[in-house]
A and B are shown apart, each in its own frame.
Chain A
Amino acid sequence: MSRRNFLKAGAVALGLALTAGTALAQDAIKIGLILPMTGPFTSTGKQIAAAAQLYMAQKGTTIAGKKVELIIKDDTGVADVTRRIAQELIVNDKVTAIAGFGLTPLALATAPLATQSKTPMVVMAAATGIITERSPFIVRTSQVVPQIAGPFGEWVAKQGMKRVVTVVTDYGPGHDVEKWFSDVFKANGGQVENLRVPLANPDFSPFLQKVADSKPDALLVFVPSGVGSQFMKQFVERGLDKSGIKLIGTGDVTDDDILNTIGDVALGVVTAHHYSAAHDSPENKAFVEAFKKANNGLRPNFMAVGGYDGMHALYEGLKKTNGAGGEALVEAMKGLAWNSPRGPMSIDKDTRDIIQNVYIRRVEKVGGELYNVEFATIPNVKDPSKAK
């Protein structure tokens, strides 16, 4: 066979491949859960997968007479892999919905697919504002950065703080927190100085030194969760805790998953977030207990609750559609409202984004363990970036 024949074969292949198509009926309701199970974001994947499995264990695996099947796939946190897996789930496994999405770029890479294939896509972790605008099939059950950072800026201003320095890691979520906190805080009469830390940064001392020079009322920090503990230790080591500078942040830095390992340096840190494992409600007590029992005592964090509620939205939606997917399922999920372990929440029927309470919490010791104890509530917050 000569090379020319090869090329011919290729051309023929091209033609044939494009005319063929497949369509198969579906029996079970399959939900594809795409999560980073390996790599630097493993903890996100573990928490969400555990919560989703817990939800199914609690609520059964049958909806409208059909069996619900969960297919968990690892995307290692790499966007083109996420997209490929989503595509495979849609075309090969014929899933009714895809869910998961640990990071913003992973969700954004997949969004066009959801539109193209009319597959509902439930975002359980990624938090950048624009995500839900990228496809009419996206529903979010995690959080939106502006939803947390914006109201927090207002709350901080109301506490009488005049000057805040923000230190955020130089990547998408960090920029979001910086922007929304700063804008709202300034609109409420505050003064802000912004600092950005490179993603690969072992030593925070130059940044903390700048903060010490500046002597603000508070320091708002947003860094990836593993690094947060280091930041807090160096904050304390520099004696900044005693200098009257309050350490504040979004709840990501006092993540329930690692709060205990951070240790006492975290005591007194004030954060805003949508979920704390210490949230005082019967729903949450049951959830935390069941989660710990099923996972070797692992404490659920905000990722877990995003996964749990994501499954709830899908279940409730599927019940309404009798197991049908597509646009009907998205429609069915719009406007859903329920009492989640995090508190009351709903899916905005216009933006398909989440509406929930934002809680102001302080790290305290409860029964020998560190918890984010909620002491103020900002109820029913919509994503301000979409509330035009």
Chain B
Amino acid sequence: MQGTPTETATRHLAETSRWKPLEFAFWLVAFGAIWLLPSHHLILNEIIITALFAMSLDLILGYAGIASLGHAAFFGFGAYFAGIFAIRVIGDPLTGLVLATLASGALGFITSFLVLRGVDLARLMVTLGVALVLGEIANKMTWLTGGADGLQGVVMGPVLGLFEFDLYGRTAYVYSLVVTFLLFLIARRIVVSPFGLSLRTIRDNPLRARAIGIPVNRRLIAVYTLAAAYAGAAGALLAQTTQFVSLDVIALHRSADVLLMLVIGGTGYLYGGFAGAIVFKVLQDVISNWTPQYWTFWIGLILVILVLIGRERMNHQVAVLWARLRGKPEPRPRTIVGGH
């Protein structure tokens, strides 16, 4: 199917936005699990929410190159917002979800100005600081958040007024999955748009991005806001499906875990969060069954090896495999974070 350069170019640009067979397979399995794994809906719900959270981090790390050690700030904010909204205003899940998402986005917008300056390390520390301060606020505002005891008395109404949250976690999983899927569709469109491409230029080389007329700061603010909204949605899903919010939602380990998951799954192709969340949870389950107290040792070892081998090279291998599975001869390796 060789054609004029124009045709080739059009085809190649379209290629990135076209759905691959494996993607279909993935979502088929995810939806199939509703019937195939009825006794695992609770853990599946946890995984899909974590995956959505990791995907939100991918938007800023994998596409715009902003490393964050405090992404749980938005996850936690969304969770508390949804929980408090259900208690104080109305228990309708969708209303709460939408508002929590918007509110988290607003928080992301405000704090985005803090991450514009500085490079990797300063950003890591600033994001970490923001999450720590928010966590401390949640701890202090006991009258609103329940403090260290956690937020209690969250009672959710049925989804769409039809589906009650059941004990088996079925409604919870289906609800989280559908929401995640919709958000994924939006994210997938965004990352292959001109806007998404411009983010990748910022990730690879902010200096040059600016020199070809891309307003770097504004793009970063936009994507940071978007990622915060996504993280907030994940937090809201957690609060609504577990009907409880505790300070853990905003804790450092939540931010660190999601970063690890994303890195294990690979950045910059949206599915990294899903792969990472699944691998992480399964590993956690397997290893902690085998050696409950010391499973962090093995996670640490995996990280060390992952970095030593080189995340890029690993991702490249995955890309090669991926291409081979699709029967395409030409793998296009991807770089992770811009760095020169």
A–B touching in complex (CB under 8 Å): yes
Q: Please give the residue numbers on chain A whose beta carbons come within 8 Å of chain B beta carbons, in ascending order.
A: 1, 3, 6, 9-10, 13-14, 16-18, 20-22, 37-38, 42, 74, 78-81, 83-84, 87-88, 90-92, 104-105, 108-109, 111-113, 116-117, 128, 130, 134, 170-173, 175, 198-199
Given contacts A13-B35, A17-B35, A20-B170, contact A88 B43 (CB under 8 A): yes
State whether B181 touches A6 (Cβ < 8 A): yes
Residue of B nearest to A176 (CB): B149
Within 8 Å CB of A21, what residues of B? 168
Tell me, yes or no, whether B129 is within 8 Å of chain A by CB: no
Contact among A16, A22, A87, A104 with B149 in the assembled complex (CB-CB below 8 Å): A104
User: Complex: how many Å from CA A38 to CA B27?
Assistant: 33
Within 8 Å CB of B170, what residues of A? 17-18, 20
Tell me, yes or no, whether B217 is within 8 Å of chain A by CB: no
Tell me, yes or no, whether B58 is within 8 Å of chain A by CB: no
How far does the Cβ of A296 sit from chain B's closest Cβ, in whole Å? 14
Within 8 Å CB of A10, what residues of B? 31, 174, 177-178, 181
State whether B178 touches A38 (Cβ < 8 A): no
**Top 7 closest pairs, chain A to chain B, by CB:** A79-B246, A105-B150, A172-B148, A171-B148, A109-B244, A13-B34, A17-B170
Q: With a 10 A CB-CB cut-off, give which of A17, A20, A79, A113 has the most chain B CB atoms.
A: A17
Tell me, yes or no, whether B248 is within 8 Å of chain A by CB: yes
Q: Please give the residue numbers on chain B whose beta carbons come within 8 Å of chain A beta carbons, in ascending order.
A: 19, 24, 27-28, 31, 34-35, 38-39, 42-43, 45-46, 136, 139, 142, 147-150, 152, 163-164, 166-171, 173-175, 177-178, 181, 185, 238, 242-244, 246-249, 288, 292-293, 295-296
State whether A1 touches B24 (Cβ < 8 A): yes
User: Complex: how many Å from CA A221 to CA B28?
Assistant: 57
- 13 pairs from A and B in contact (CB 8 Å cutoff): A1-B24, A17-B34, A74-B288, A80-B249, A84-B45, A88-B39, A88-B42, A91-B167, A104-B148, A112-B243, A170-B139, A172-B149, A173-B148
How far does the Cβ of B279 sit from chain A's closest Cβ, in whole Å? 18
Q: With a 10 A CB-CB cut-off, give which of A104, A108, A130, A134 has the most chain B CB atoms.
A: A108
Contact among A16, A18, A80 with B244 in the assembled complex (CB-CB below 8 Å): A80
Residue of B nearest to A85 (CB): B42
Contact among A13, A18, A105, A134 with B247 in the assembled complex (CB-CB below 8 Å): A105
Within 8 Å CB of B292, what residues of A? 37-38, 74
Residue of A nearest to B132 (CB): A200
How far does the Cβ of B100 sit from chain A's closest Cβ, in whole Å? 16
State whether B139 touches A199 (Cβ < 8 A): yes
User: Complex: how many Å from CA A105 to CA B28?
Assistant: 37
State whether B139 touches A117 (Cβ < 8 A): no
State whether A38 touches B147 (Cβ < 8 A): no
User: Complex: how many Å from CA A3 to CA B142?
Assistant: 44
User: Complex: how many Å from CA A311 to CA B271?
Assistant: 45
Residue of A nearest to B154 (CB): A112
How far does the Cβ of A104 sit from chain B's closest Cβ, in whole Å? 5
User: Complex: how many Å from CA A130 to CA B163?
Assistant: 31
**A interface secondary structure, majority:** helix
How far does the Cβ of B241 sit from chain A's closest Cβ, in whole Å? 9
State whether A134 touches B244 (Cβ < 8 A): no
State whether B288 touches A171 (Cβ < 8 A): no
Residue of A nearest to B34 (CB): A13
Residue of B nearest to A126 (CB): B149
Within 8 Å CB of B175, what residues of A? 14
Residue of B nearest to A87 (CB): B42
Known: A22-B38, A38-B292, A38-B295. 8 other contacts (CB 8 A): A14-B163, A22-B39, A42-B293, A78-B248, A79-B150, A88-B39, A104-B150, A105-B150
State whether B166 touches A18 (Cβ < 8 A): yes
Given contacts A38-B288, A108-B152, contact A87 B171 (CB under 8 A): no
User: Complex: how many Å from CA A172 to CA B146?
Assistant: 9
Given contacts A16-B34, A88-B43, A172-B149, contact A3 B288 (CB under 8 A): no
User: Complex: how many Å from CA A3 to CA B42?
Assistant: 26
Q: With a 10 A CB-CB cut-off, give which of A16, A37, A83, A116 has the most chain B CB atoms.
A: A83
Within 8 Å CB of B39, what residues of A? 22, 88, 91-92
Within 8 Å CB of B19, what residues of A? 3
Within 8 Å CB of B238, what residues of A? 80
Within 8 Å CB of A173, what residues of B? 148
User: Complex: how many Å from CA A80 to CA B248?
Assistant: 8
State whether A108 touches B150 (Cβ < 8 A): yes
State whether B174 touches A13 (Cβ < 8 A): yes
State whether B46 touches A22 (Cβ < 8 A): no
State whether A80 touches B242 (Cβ < 8 A): yes
Within 8 Å CB of B45, what residues of A? 84
State whether B293 touches A38 (Cβ < 8 A): yes
Q: With a 10 A CB-CB cut-off, give which of A13, A37, A199 has the most chain B CB atoms.
A: A13
Residue of B nearest to A172 (CB): B148
State whether A79 touches B174 (Cβ < 8 A): no
User: Complex: how many Å from CA A116 to CA B292?
Assistant: 30
How far does the Cβ of A52 sit from chain B's closest Cβ, in whole Å? 15
Within 8 Å CB of A108, what residues of B? 149-150, 152, 244
User: Complex: how many Å from CA A199 to CA B292?
Assistant: 26
Within 8 Å CB of A78, what residues of B? 246, 248
User: Complex: how many Å from CA A128 to CA B149?
Assistant: 9
State whether B167 touches A80 (Cβ < 8 A): no
Within 8 Å CB of A3, what residues of B? 19, 185
User: Complex: how many Å from CA A81 to CA B293?
Assistant: 16
State whether B149 touches A105 (Cβ < 8 A): yes
State whether A22 touches B174 (Cβ < 8 A): no
Within 8 Å CB of A88, what residues of B? 39, 42-43
State whether A16 touches B178 (Cβ < 8 A): no
Residue of B nearest to A11 (CB): B178
State whether A83 touches B166 (Cβ < 8 A): no
State whether A105 touches B148 (Cβ < 8 A): yes
State whether B152 touches A22 (Cβ < 8 A): no
State whether B167 touches A83 (Cβ < 8 A): no
Within 8 Å CB of A117, what residues of B? 167
User: Complex: how many Å from CA A113 to CA B242?
Assistant: 10
Within 8 Å CB of A42, what residues of B? 293
Within 8 Å CB of B293, what residues of A? 37-38, 42
Within 8 Å CB of B247, what residues of A? 105
